[in-house]
Amino acid sequence: MSETRVAIVTGGSGGIGRVVAERLAKDGQTVVVTYAGNPQRAEEAVTAITAAGGTASAFQADVADEQQVAALFEDTEKRYGGIDVVVHTAGIMLLSPLADLDLADFDRMHRTNVRGTFVVDQQAVRRLRPGGALINFSTSVTHIALPNYTAYAATKGAVDGMTLILAKELRGRDITVNAVAPGPTATPLYLDGKDQETIDRMAKFAPLERLGEPADIAEAVSWLAGPARWVNGQVIYVNGGVV
């Protein structure tokens, strides 16, 4: 492995993605914060990383657009010499019972969560250096099976399938492919639209009796992105023991 690892973090300007970007930078990795449409938040993330002594830059790309994602990877290679880690946190979540879901919302989630993962993974496996790590983002809802999450869980089930098969397709490359599957985590994406009673009830799901924090998820990503070289082809449930 190269002395200084270079990481691309999609969705790195906010929520779990930003905390992951900051954690990888703290670990000594050079980080490219990829964002969809808010340059101010991305620059805030870069500023926070550099202020803490890390190295980072921002790049705008729609993860479902193959040309923009290819440009992201090309720019990263030219700027930093190569790519060792790709963490694909970018995703959207729209909740509804299956019977009532607007199919336009289903298509939006499919485009970002399924096509976006496929496009990012395709560039990653073409470009990652030996010793590299690809980390997708799934969800514990595929396991917990909560009502109203049908369409979202369906998109993340596709991510699980891609992850497990891709690990085998990379035989002989010395590249690990895993997915992190967070449970209820205190992010704006998760908390949006939920009343306090719902939040308190969800916090009791885990035996540890709290919601996850983005730092809890970033801890698992840090492990997979660095020392965990014998963990491969796995979906890691990072949820405090929710079943």
What does the pLDDT look like over 68-112, one tens digit per residue? Answer: 999 999 999 999 999 999 999 999 999 999 999 999 999 999 999
Spell out a b/e string for 123-150, using b for 16 or more CB atoms within 10 Å of the CB, else e: bbbebbbeebbbbbbbbbbbbbeeeebb
Q: What is the pLDDT of residue 101?
A: 97
Residue 110's contacts (CB-CB under 8 Å, 6 or more residues apart) are 155
In a domain, 197, yes or no: no
Q: What is the pLDDT of residue 194?
A: 85
**Confidence band for 2, pLDDT divided at 50, 70 and 90:** very low
Q: What is the pLDDT of residue 1?
A: 42
Q: What is the pLDDT of residue 195?
A: 87
In a domain, 27, yes or no: yes
Q: What is the pLDDT of residue 191?
A: 82
179 burial class (0-12, 13-18, 19+ CB within 10 angstroms)?
buried
CATH of the domain at 142: 3.40.50.720
In a domain, 69, yes or no: yes
Q: What is the pLDDT of residue 187?
A: 87
In a domain, 194, yes or no: no
Range of the domain at 16: 6-183+216-233
In a domain, 209, yes or no: no
Domain count, the chain: 1
How many whole angstroms separate alpha carbon 84 and alpha carbon 168?
A: 18
SS3 label, residue 186: coil
Indicate the pTM of the whole model: 0.95
> Can you read off the two tokens belonging to residue 109?
């989630």
Q: Which residues are catalytic?
A: 152
Beta bridge partners of 7: 31, 85
What does the pLDDT look like over 190-240, one tens digit per residue? Answer: 788 788 998 999 899 899 999 999 999 999 999 999 999 999 999 999 999
What does the pLDDT look like over 150-195, one tens digit per residue? Answer: 999 999 999 999 999 999 999 999 999 999 999 999 987 778 878 8
How many Cα atoms within 13 Å fall on the side-chain side of residue 200?
3
Three-state secondary structure of 94-142: CCCCHHHCCHHHHHHHHHHHHHHHHHHHHHHHHHEEEEEEEEEECCCHH
In a domain, 13, yes or no: yes
End-to-end CA distance of the chain: 36
**Confidence band for 120, pLDDT divided at 50, 70 and 90:** very high
What does the pLDDT look like over 26-71, one tens digit per residue? Answer: 999 999 999 999 999 999 999 999 999 999 999 999 999 999 999 9
In a domain, 210, yes or no: no
In a domain, 43, yes or no: yes
